[in-house]
Structures are given as structure tokens and as C-alpha cells.
Amino acid sequence: MGHGGDVIQELTADHREVDELFSQIETLPGADERRRELADRLTMELIRHSVAEEEHLYPAVRRYVDGGDDLADKEIADHSEVERMLKELESCQPGDGRFDTLILRVKNAVTAHVSDEENRLFPMLADSCSAEALAELGEKVRAAKEHAPTRPHPSAPDTPPANKLLAPGAGMVDRLRDRLTGRGKQN
């Protein structure tokens, strides 16, 4: 979390981090408990990333990119689908067939979403925004990830202004729960 650079560099670095977490999960045997820890880290990263995009990237897409409303709506719908799957994954354990099925479904949805962002949305945003605006968005995204929730909240609002008002409170509660349970700690 927090890689630096403009918004496109920051979010692309997040995408590679998520790719690596999927790879690590896939290399471990089915019932290995480390898969649960990696799935928790994956969830934390995906949720923080999604919240930051919903708070800052998609409003910029709506503002600067031709057809931005439709693009942003599609990306937010992708996030909602992934968040519902991540919520279901919370109750699964490695070795449970649902765990593997959900990991695969999440990976497929995230891979398609990332491909769309990197091949279509990011180039369109880069063409329509100044370097200064992209750098400022990068800073805003990094700040948002610091305070964002770390657990899926599928019924939470995902568009401004409600998401910007509620996410920090949910994030505070999630981080407290994570500290108390040890969730997301790297060994």
C-alpha cells in the first residue's frame, strides 16, 4: 500500500500486488492455513484499493473523460460484484471447496476489471488529464487507502458524497478489529 507516483502508477502497482497475492494463494496446498491469511490480505488490499478508486478515480473519470459516467458506473458495478464475493469468502476456510471456487471467481473478476482499467480507462484518463491532476489524484488515492475499510461492506454506499463520509469510520472499526484479531499481519 502506498507506492508513489501519479494515480495510474499507484493503482497499477496495487494491481501487481494483488496479482502476486493470487499467485501465492495458488501455489499453496488446498488446506494450507496460510491460504486463509493470504486471502485476508488480498481482501484488505482489494477493499482499500476499491474504496480509493470510488472516492477519487471514478469522480475524475466522470469529470474528465468523454463517456466517463458510463465507464465509472461499470467499474463500480465490478467492485460491487467482487465485494459480494469477498464477503462470502470471509466465511470459508482453505480445504472447503467454496474457498477455491470463490478465489477463482474473484481472480477472474479482478483480472477482467484490471485489464479494462489498464487498457482502456487509464489511457483515456491520461489523455484527458494534466500530469499535475494525475499526480494530485495519486496523493488523494494514497491518503484514502490509509483510512479505508479493510473488510467488505457490500451494502455501504460506493459513490460520493456518502462513501467519503462513511468510509473513514468503517475503516477505523475494521482496523481496530484487525489489530485485535491479528488479521492481515505478515509473518
Peptide bond into 161 cis (omega under 30): yes
Cβ partners under 8 Å of residue 70, min gap 6: none
Domain spans in the chain, listed from the N-terminal domain onward: 7-181
Tell me how crowded residue 162 is: count the other CB atoms within 10 A of its CB. 11
Q: What region does 2 belong to: left with phi over 0, alpha with psi -120 to 50, or beta? A: left
pLDDT tens digits for 54-110? 999 999 999 999 999 999 999 999 999 999 999 999 999 999 999 999 999 999 999
Longest Cα–Cα distance in the chain: 49
Average pLDDT rounded to a whole number, residues 15-26: 98
- DSSP per-residue string spanning 50-73: HHHIIIIIHHHHHHHSTTHHHHHH
Homologous superfamily of the 7-181 domain (CATH): nmb1532 protein domain like (1.20.120.520)
Residue 184: pLDDT band with limits 50, 70, 90: confident
Instruction: Tell me the whole-structure pTM to 2 decimals.
Output: 0.88
